[in-house]
Chain A
Amino acid sequence: MNYTQRIKNLREAKLRQTSEKLEKLGTRDEDDYGCVIPPEDFKWQPPVQDTNGSFSGARAWGRNFRSLMENHPIYIDPNDALAGRWMFMLSRMRKGYKLELSNFAFDYSHLKPNQLKYDITCGIGKDAHFAPDYKIGLQLGWGGLLSKVKASMEKYGHDPVARELLEAEEDAILGIQNWIARTAKAAKTMVLQERNPVLRENLRQMVAINTKLVAQAPENLREVCQWLAWFNMASRTYNRDGAGGQLDELLRPYYEKDKAAGIINDDDAEFFIACLLLNDPHYYQLGGPDKNGKDQTSPISYLILEAAAKLKTSCNLTIRVHDDMDRKLFRRGVEILLIDKLGYPRFSGDKALVEGFMKNGFSRELARERIATGCNWMSLPGLEYTLNDVVKINIAKVFEVAFYENMKKSPSLENLEELFIQHFETAVETVAEGLDFHLEHQYLNEPELLLNFLSHGPIEKGLDVSHGGAEFYNMALDGAGLATVADSFAAIEQRIVKEQCLTWQNLRENLANDFTTSNGEEVRLMLAASEKFGQGDSLGDKWALRLTEILKDKVADRTTSLGRRMIPGWFSWADTVRFGKNVSATPDGRKDGMPISHGANPRPGCRRDNALTAMAQAIARVQPGYGNTAPWQLELDIGLVKHPAAVDIVMALMQTHFDLGGTLININIVDSKKILEAHKDPQAHPNLIVRVTGFSAYFSSLSKEFRQLVVDRIIEKTV
């Protein structure tokens, strides 16, 4: 029973679990989390509930989480180096939970009219979406964290708010310790039953490691991986979380120490890491500069990549590309991407990220430490509260409002642009008010009991991270629908203003009737054939730049009323379908309810030659440039992969995108035939993994609508 066989067994188990999740939970347009289905006879209800069946406040969250941990089923796979799997998300067990709209115990109905009007994803009540500093936990262990909480209690016990928070933190740790201790005990029983000597020894070690980790800090690589897995699983169980960290640098000291002591070899290290990656697809960065600009690539960076390559499941690794990097890591990353075709690793561009973040007034040293730890997002581990990726304005909706207002009296393009700006500004103002409202109330709704442990400040100050506990507040605000709106402005400018082959009234009539008028399809095709964003020096490109200027102008270099900074980005996440449903027909020829454009991407098929160089430039040009991303969702055809110089070409393509200002590239290697087959019959290809946006997922686990979206991107259908 060697590591290859054990990884194979683990991978097969993972595929079975994915199928079971699909069967029991249905399709989900999210990451393929590491969770598994609980045993059928498992029953649990949150012991503390409000009269409405939901719960809120630190005490309730602490009690409920502790109870869930104390009752959490035990999962041990004797093949695995690490014990445990998570099964629940407490945040989704609140009555009335919806993915798109969080439970929130405080009334913000005064903001709702504008939130609806502009289809704003306001972020109020949203949790996690900032990055932990795992080093805090690795140094202290659960016992050390508990002592830290107790010490803080001594200091702030007189303050009822701090006291409630810290008591809840204590509950959270006690719950986790209970879970770990029960797991260690269960592993002990399994040792007696296991007949395979290799697996029996593995279980023995699992008992020792987990018995220790109940209170003590980890001291070697395997213990560190297990500790990280426990934190990740607990944090997932609490409120989904999922942010990772600079994994190579987190593991390196332990790896080097173990190797020097002769405790492990690289095969052992690779296996432990593979088990960590299998445990949950958290977002980890590899390579990149340290705060002084020195490349962080080390042998363990490669081991992490190779572990992922052996595992071949859904993974979220990002390689940071910078001038002084070890190019071999970049190359190996691209090779794995092209060989495995599983959508990882992803690649981020250091130059634009660092220079962008510095524009907010931060030092270069700090900017370098702001790393890829989420879908589209960057975060300073343990220092920053951001609400990354959960605050968005659907600018296609803003455009729709402006368009119909423009039609009320003598419409003009100038007037339309002016109205768009006005409405966008109101939308940004609404978001800013919402962010302040969230920051004032979230600690009473859902404190970040888990991420607080690994942040610098909350425990020390007795303040939730959302409530003043964090060092910095850099609130993310993404615009969604860039190409839809840029192409709509361009179509109007071309067909109505320049060519005068369409009147405003005719356009309005067609949009209002979803192009069902007698010449509707002809008008739609004419609009769709207008100059598009992504063609290069087109009207669409001009408008995409203009929209980016508007986004920067209204979002960056300003703060909310409470003085919180906002950072702009272009990103739609997996919400293009949902956003699209809220927007009627648009002048780019898009029909009522169809998805809006994806992130910063031009519409698929905007150029006949589908030149990736044109796309790379178009997306580089529309970077808001304040340290948050406008990712390039890149679909690489399988034909390119077969090219003898594929690795060099893809590296040059990405490098140039970063040279031109690109921030993040999420890549899919697309076998069109396979995807189309899998779209028809998802179960025919249960192992097919696609990178949907920032995250990768099993294609079969996506909803039909979302599979269609992936298919549309791939077959490059124009609207």
Chain B
Amino acid sequence: MCGCTSGMNGTIFDIKRFAIHDGPGIRTTVFLKGCLLRCLWCHNPESQKIEHEILFIPDKCIGCGWCFKNCPKHAHKMEDGKHVLHREECIRCGVCAEKCYAGAIEVIGREATVGQVIEEVLMDKPFYDNSGGGMTVSGGEPMFQPEFTAALLSEAKKHGLHTCLDTCGFAAWKYYAAVMDNVDLFLFDLKETDPEKHQETTGVLLEPILETLKRLDDAGKQIYLRCPLIPGFNDRDEHIKKIAEIAISLKNLLEIDLISYHPLGQAKLEHIGMKDKLGISKFANREQTEKFYAKLEKLTNIQVKIN
């Protein structure tokens, strides 16, 4: 073993250059696939499972028939003049997407080595240097692929990049301990502060998340709290007060980002064969977000931003 990790494979679902909402400056955000949480409002539902998924947008189909002919399971069918994907038969092999030039079918998720990802990330290095930006690892949940995440961050550091890790905090501490030295800033998601509601809406316990947050803070790591505001779910005064309490308790918190909910993730659900459990299609109320913003600033005296 040479200890070189640049050949390590991970599953990513996107790399976004010119990311300006995922930490300071101009950044490239690497989105890893797979997450333990099942937040009802997830804006990237296609990132939840680690397996590849088939995204199918019937409206884009031009009826060329390639997928009908080439699907090994005949999961694509024309029924009553409509192109239908029978997901129960689909084995997610991705053959159908290979020649879907209309963009109706896509495979979500691809394997990439650390070296390949870093090569793409380094393309924008001059912009990071001029803006104080760098690389952000996000997801999904990066800690769903802890070794790959650690290798990415370590490699980025070798190239002198500023690094952010966007995490929900729900992973074994040893994984955080392993990456900590290679992360300049943690973008820490705090979705719900009521333990019961947290479990109800995200599927996991709140306590270990708060524990991770505290330990990162105790370790002296710089933190931004990222708090999504979901209409009808967590847009409560008590939640904001609780965020403020947590924020005040942290020694290394630099900023709180209030993230206004947008229903675009819900629109994607149908295209990947999932059901909408949230049932809201409205955007977060701007006025209310600004009210919470003012409240948080007043209560914490910490920089608050609306993203």
Contact at A660–B126, with CB atoms within 8 Å?
yes
Which one of B21, B62, B124, B127 lies within 8 Å of A521 (CB-CB)? B62
Nearest opposing residue in chain B for A537, CB measure: B123
Whether B64 pairs with A613 at a CB distance below 8 angstroms is no
Fill in one digit per residue for A627-643: 1 if any B CB lies within 8 Å of its CB, else 0. 00000000000001001
A609-B17, A614-B17 known; A525 vs B101 contact (CB < 8 Å): yes
CB <8 Å contact, A609 and B16: yes
Contacting pair A519 B130 (CB below 8 A): no
In the complex with contacts A529-B103, A617-B123, A652-B16 CB distance below 8 A: no
B105, chain A: closest CB distance, angstroms: 12
CB interface residues, A 632-666, toward B, < 8 Å:
640, 643-645, 648-649, 652-653, 655-656, 659-660
Question: Contacts of B251 on A, CB cut-off 8 Å?
Answer: none
- CB-nearest residue of chain A to B123: A536
Measured as residues with beta carbon below 8 angstroms from the partner, the interface class of chain A is: 20 to 34
State whether B101 touches A529 (Cβ < 8 A).
Answer: yes
Q: Which residues of chain B are within 8 angstroms of A655 by Cβ–Cβ distance?
A: 130
Known: A613-B127, A652-B25. A525 touches B18 (CB 8 A): no
Q: Are A644 and B305 in contact (CB under 8 A)?
A: yes
Closest chain B CB from A284 CB (angstroms):
27
Q: Which residue of A lies closest to B60 (CB)?
A: A525
Q: For residue A607, which residue of chain B has the nearest CB?
A: B17
Alpha-carbon separation in the docked complex, A649 to B128 (Å): 10
Given contacts A525-B101, A649-B26, A640 and B20 within 8 Å (CB-CB):
yes
What is the CA–CA distance of A519 and B305 in the complex, to the nearest angstrom? 51
Assess whether B249 is interfacial by the CB under 8 Å rule. no
Residues in A575-627 with C-beta less than 8 Å from chain B: 607, 609-614, 616-617
Are B101's CB and A526's CB within 8 A? yes
A480 interface contact, C-beta 8 A? no
A649 to B19, CA, bound (A): 11
With contacts A522-B64, A525-B62, A612-B18 taken as known, whether A656 is within 8 angstroms of B127 at the C-beta atoms is: yes
B102 contacts chain A at the CB level, 8 A cutoff: yes
A536 to B18, CA, bound (A): 13
A613 and B26 contact, CB distance less than 8 A: yes
- Nearest CB in chain B: distance from A600 CB, A: 18
Docked CA distance A607–B17 (Å): 10
State whether B126 touches A656 (Cβ < 8 A). Answer: yes
Contacts of A521 in B (CB 8 A): 62, 64
Tell whether B131 is near chain A: CB-to-CB under 8 Å: yes
- A220 to chain B minimum Cβ distance, whole angstroms, is 42
Q: Across the interface, name the chain A residue whose C-beta is closest to B306.
A: A644
User: A146 on the interface (CB 8 Å rule)?
Assistant: no
Residues of B near A483 (CB, < 8 A) are none
- Interface presence of A528 (CB below 8 A): yes
| Cross-chain contact A652 with B127 (CB below 8 angstroms) | yes
**Complex Cα spacing A645 to B303, Å:** 13
Cβ of A202 to closest chain B Cβ, rounded Å? 45
Q: Within the complex, what minimum Cβ distance (angstroms) separates B15 from chain A?
A: 8
Docked-complex contact A613 and B124, CB < 8 angstroms? yes
The answer to whether A525 and B102 touch (CB under 8 A), given A613-B17, A652-B26, is yes
Q: Min CB distance, A585 to chain B, in Å?
A: 16
Give the contacting residue for B18; candidates A519, A613, A660; CB below 8 A: A613
Distance in angstroms from B164 CB to nearest chain A CB is 15
Give the chain B neighbours of A528 by CB distance below 8 A.
101
A522 with B101, Cβ < 8 A, contacts A649-B26, A652-B131 known: yes
Residues in A whose Cβ lies below 8 Å from that of B16: 609, 611
Smallest beta-carbon distance A665→chain B, Å? 14
* Residues of chain A within 8 A of B123, CB atoms compared: 536, 613-614, 617
In the bound complex, residues from chain A placing their C-beta under 8 Å from that of B15 are 609
Point out the residues of chain B lying under 8 angstroms from A519, CB to CB: 64
Contacts of A607 in B (CB 8 A): 17
Closest A residue to B255 by CB, please name it: A644
**List of 5 A-B pairs having minimum Cβ-Cβ separation, nearest first:** A652-B131, A611-B17, A525-B101, A611-B18, A652-B130
Write 15 A-B pairs (CB below 8 A) sorted by A numbering. A521-B64, A525-B101, A526-B101, A607-B17, A611-B16, A611-B18, A613-B18, A616-B127, A617-B124, A645-B25, A648-B25, A648-B131, A649-B26, A653-B127, A656-B127
List residues of chain B with CB under 8 Å of any chain A CB.
14-18, 20-21, 24-26, 62, 64, 99, 101-103, 120, 123-124, 126-127, 129-131, 133, 305
* Residues of A participating in the B interface, judged by any CB pair closer than 8 Å: 501, 519, 521-522, 525-526, 528-529, 536, 607, 609-614, 616-617, 640, 643-645, 648-649, 652-653, 655-656, 659-660
- Further pairs besides A609-B16, A649-B25, A660-B126: 19, Cβ < 8 Å: A521-B62, A522-B62, A525-B62, A529-B103, A607-B17, A609-B15, A609-B18, A613-B124, A613-B127, A614-B18, A614-B124, A616-B127, A648-B131, A649-B26, A652-B26, A652-B133, A653-B26, A656-B131, A659-B130
